[in-house]
Every structure is written in C-alpha cells, then in structure tokens.
C-alpha cells in the first residue's frame, strides 16, 4: 500500500465543502467530451466578458488550481500551507500573450516575486517561463541559427536583458530562481541562455536553476556535459527535474517534419530515465541540488529511499519536492508532515488571464491516465472518513 494514502494529512487545509466541490469538479473533467466542450465555451465566454461565467470559473477550476488573483491575495493560501511545512512557488500563470509590453510586465512581476521571497522561507523559489520573457518564434529562430534582422536582434537583446536583470536581482537577494522548460525546438536556445546565467551567478551557490525534461532522449548525456562545464568553470548546479509536458506535440512535429522523435519510446523508458536523474543527483551532491517536480509516487519514494540510504536529513537543503497546487496533495502534505522540503507551484493571476492555464489542467486531468481517478478516490476516501463511514 502506498505511503501517501493518509487523506487526513492530505486534506488538512480543505473544508468539507471544498472537498465536495472538488469531487464534483473532478467528476466533470473526467469526461473528455464534456471537458472539450466546456473549454470551448469557457474560452469564448470569458474572452467576451460574460461576468457570470468568470464567477463560475472563479468558484470552481480557479479555486481548485489557483492561489488568487494577485500575489497578495494568494498569501492566505501561502500561510496555510506553510503551517504544514509546505513552501509556495508563485507561478505567474498568464500565458500566450506575445507583446513586448506583456514581456516587460511579466519581468516586473518576477522581480516583485524575488523581493517578496527574499528571506522568506515560505517562498523558497521564484520561477519563470521562457516564453513569459520573449516570443516563441524568436527563440526558435535563434536556436535554428537563422540570421536575425536588426529589429529581431534588438528584440533578442531585450530577452537576454530580462534574464540578466532577474538573475542578477535573485543573486543579490539570495533567492533561487528556476526557469521552466518548454518545447525542444526552443529549449536549446533557453539552455544556452540559462548556462550563461549559471556561469555568472552560481559561483558561491546554485542561484539559477534550469529544468530538465526526462521524457527526452539524450538528457543524461546533457547532464554529464553540464557537470563537466560547471567543474571547469567552477560553479554550482541546480535543476528542476520533470518528466515533460509536451509529449503529443513533440511527437507530432517530429513526424510531420521527418526528424527523429526526441521523446523516450515508452512510459517505462521515461520512468527509467527519471530514476537515472535521481542517481545523477545523489552521486554529485557536492555540486548539484535538485527539485523533483512530479506527481509520481514511486519516483518520490525512490528519492526518499536514496536520501535515507545516504543518511541525509529529510530537510537537506539540496533536495526539494514539488507538485502543482490542487493536485497530489497526498504527496505534498505527507512530505511536509515528515519535514521534507515540499513545495507547491502556486499559480496566480486575473481569472480571465489564467484560463489557458486552467484549461491545460483540465485537459491534463482528462488525458493523464489515472490522475483524476486517483484524485477522486482520495477525496471520496476523506469525505467518508469525515462522515465516519
């Protein structure tokens, strides 16, 4: 039996009313047809300013998966979780707007998050998404080695400057900054940029952390190269390890364009690769720190086992675990209860602007086999426990 089955611990922060609502919601999004219809209606109505729809969203999906409309309004959730030794990682969840003004605004928001996190153990990391700081196609063109026009060069320099500004500020304030990973055809451009930041700001400790998607082939080789670079240039490494979120899109593009699929051939191969990354971390702890971003119970247990075998304290500051807010509370709250470094990605933003994030969560919970079933099973178990049946 799984060690993550204690629903009293998992849902310590949720009222019975909230659990009833979550149960209803997960039941709805279990139906793919209903979800895709709902998403279409949602995108249309929210963007055409139907206030009552925003209200419905706010009291359902938003309440389940988002901390609040602003950083300040999310503080209630942050404080609640921190009482259970769970940190929050503010995730500015506005996606898909590709304008310079929006990129500047996002950069400002991240700087505010750094100030907010400084010296605050309830907020152990600050995170940003590469496409929050620049246009997707420009990253792709840089990666493909395309000759940029002079205005594109200026645009790229503005992206580089945003990275430099936030990493410099994070370094000055001793706050760890983590960069999310995205599609492979922009990720090399991102990796190169992040590597420059690492060389600049990770001399005393790992301040700038990159994300490594273990569903990709060749990532273990990449880690070995990265370690070699870090040893040569004398800086520390920090990684967020995930399996990866864009599998279908990656496979479809590779097939369409006729290049080798960059994703592991099977789920088992991805799992093995993720486990190999755990080994890589444990074998290089003098240089490497890690954040395991996963809802997978086996991977989480494996990290815990490896820590035990190495006599590491549960709260060793080189090892962290993270799940998304609204999902897998059974893992996060268990880890927090046992004094591991547990965190939640806590998205925030105006209801209208976080709809793309919410629709991804709804789709993911429809498509990821077992995830919704697992969430529902745990919620129902806890509701039965509270009713004494």
Task: Return the biggest CA–CA distance within the chain.
Answer: 69
Q: Which of 323, 330, 359, 366 binds ligand FAD (CB under 6 A)?
A: 323
Among positions 156-195, residues that touch ligand FAD (CB under 6 A) are 180-181
CB of 110 to ligand FAD, least distance (A): 15
Q: Which of 56, 122, 245, 285 binds ligand FAD (CB under 6 A)?
A: 245
CB of 185 to ligand FAD, least distance (A): 13
CB-wise, 160 or 245, nearer to ligand FAD?
Answer: 245
Strands (E), 262-377: 288-293, 319-324, 342-348
Q: Please choose, out of 16-24, 75-83, 184-192, 322-330, the segment that lies near ligand FAD by the rule CB under 6 A.
A: 322-330
Number of H helices, E strands in the chain: 18, 8
Q: Which of 294, 300, 332, 341 binds ligand FAD (CB under 6 A)?
A: 294
- Strand, coil or helix: what is 296? coil
CB of 188 to ligand FAD, least distance (A): 15
The neighbouring-strand residues paired with 125 are: 176
> 357 phi and psi, to 5 degrees?
-65, -45
- Token pair of 369 as six digits: 């086999």
Q: Which of 92, 325, 345, 357 binds ligand FAD (CB under 6 A)?
A: 345
CB of 151 to ligand FAD, least distance (A): 29
CB-wise, 53 or 333, nearer to ligand FAD?
Answer: 333
Q: Which of 25, 81, 189, 242 binds ligand FAD (CB under 6 A)?
A: 242
Give residue 240's region: left, alpha or beta (phi > 0; psi -120 to 50). Answer: beta
CB-wise, 342 or 355, nearer to ligand FAD?
Answer: 342
Give residue 159's region: left, alpha or beta (phi > 0; psi -120 to 50). Answer: alpha
Q: Which of 262, 322, 336, 347 binds ligand FAD (CB under 6 A)?
A: 322
- Strand, coil or helix: what is 302? helix
Q: Could you say whether residue 131 binds ligand FAD (CB under 6 A)?
A: no
CB of 52 to ligand FAD, least distance (A): 32
Q: Sheet containing 319-324: give its strands across.
A: 86-92, 342-348, 319-324, 288-293, 237-242, 208-213, 176-179, 125-128
* Residue keyed to tokens 């304030």: 173
Q: Which of 295, 318, 320, 374 binds ligand FAD (CB under 6 A)?
A: 295
- Token pair of 72 as six digits: 């300040």
Q: Which of 112, 188, 296, 363 binds ligand FAD (CB under 6 A)?
A: 296
Helix (H) or strand (E) holding 91: strand 86-92
Residues with Cβ within 8 Å of residue 59, at least 6 apart in sequence: 21
CB-wise, 54 or 295, nearer to ligand FAD?
Answer: 295
Return the residue nearest ligand FAD (CB atom): 293
Q: Could you say whether residue 324 binds ligand FAD (CB under 6 A)?
A: yes
Which residue in 192, 191, 199 sits closest to 171, CA to CA? Answer: 199
Which residue in 238, 180, 176, 167 sits closest to 213, CA to CA? Answer: 180
CA angle 225, 230, 231 (to 5 degrees): 95
Q: Which of 7, 35, 106, 211 binds ligand FAD (CB under 6 A)?
A: 211
Q: Which of 368, 373, 384, 385 binds ligand FAD (CB under 6 A)?
A: 368
Q: Which of 270, 330, 341, 365 binds ligand FAD (CB under 6 A)?
A: 270
Q: Could you say whether residue 213 binds ligand FAD (CB under 6 A)?
A: yes
Residue 253 CA, chain-centre distance (Å), reads 23
Full DSSP string of 6-66: -HHHHTTT--HHHHHHHHHHHHHHT-HHHHHHHHHHHHHHHHTT-HHHHHHHIIIIIHHH-
CB of 31 to ligand FAD, least distance (A): 20
Length of the chain, please? 389
CB-wise, 60 or 363, nearer to ligand FAD?
Answer: 363
CB-wise, 211 or 341, nearer to ligand FAD?
Answer: 211
Q: Could you say whether residue 254 binds ligand FAD (CB under 6 A)?
A: no
Chain residues binding ligand FAD by CB under 6 A are 180-181, 211, 213, 215, 242-247, 263-264, 266-267, 270, 293-296, 322-324, 345, 368
């Amino acid at each position: 039996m799984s060690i993550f089955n204690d629903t009293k611990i998992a849902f310590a922060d949720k009222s019975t009313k909230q659990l009833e609502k979550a149960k209803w919601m997960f039941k709805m999004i279990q139906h793919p047809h209903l979800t895709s219809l709902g998403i279409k209606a949602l995108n249309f109505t929210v963007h055409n300013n139907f206030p009552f729809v925003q209200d419905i969203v706010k009291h359902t999906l938003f309440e389940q998966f988002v901390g609040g409309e602003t950083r300040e309004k999310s503080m209630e959730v942050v404080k609640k979780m921190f009482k259970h030794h769970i940190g929050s990682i503010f995730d500015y969840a506005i996606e898909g707007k590709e304008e310079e003004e929006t990129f500047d605004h996002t950069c400002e928001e991240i700087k505010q998050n750094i100030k907010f996190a400084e010296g605050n153990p309830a907020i152990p990391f600050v995170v940003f998404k590469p496409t929050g700081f620049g246009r997707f196609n420009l990253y792709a063109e840089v990666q493909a080695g395309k000759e940029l026009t002079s205005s594109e060069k200026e645009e790229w320099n503005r992206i580089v400057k945003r990275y430099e500004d936030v990493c410099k500020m994070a370094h000055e304030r001793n706050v760890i900054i983590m960069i999310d990973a995205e599609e492979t055809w922009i990720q090399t451009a991102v990796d190169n940029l992040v590597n420059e930041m690492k060389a600049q700001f990770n001399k005393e400790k790992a301040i700038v952390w990159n994300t490594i998607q273990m569903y990709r082939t060749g990532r273990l080789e990449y880690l070995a190269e990265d370690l070699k670079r870090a040893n040569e240039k004398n800086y520390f490494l920090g990684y967020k390890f995930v399996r990866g979120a864009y599998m279908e899109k990656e496979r479809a593009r590779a097939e369409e364009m006729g290049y080798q699929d960059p994703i592991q051939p099977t789920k088992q191969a991805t799992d093995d690769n993720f486990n190999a990354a755990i080994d890589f971390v444990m074998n290089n702890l003098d240089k490497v720190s890690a954040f395991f971003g996963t809802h997978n119970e086996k991977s989480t247990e494996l990290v815990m086992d490896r820590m035990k075998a190495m006599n590491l304290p549960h709260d060793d500051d080189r090892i962290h675990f993270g799940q998304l807010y609204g999902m897998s509370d059974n893992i996060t709250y268990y880890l927090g209860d046992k004094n591991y470094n547990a965190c939640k990605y806590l998205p925030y933003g105006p209801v209208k602007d976080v709809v793309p994030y919410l629709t991804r969560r709804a789709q993911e919970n429809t498509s990821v086999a077992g995830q919704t079933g697992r969430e529902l099973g745990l919620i129902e178990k806890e509701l039965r426990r509270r009713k004494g049946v």
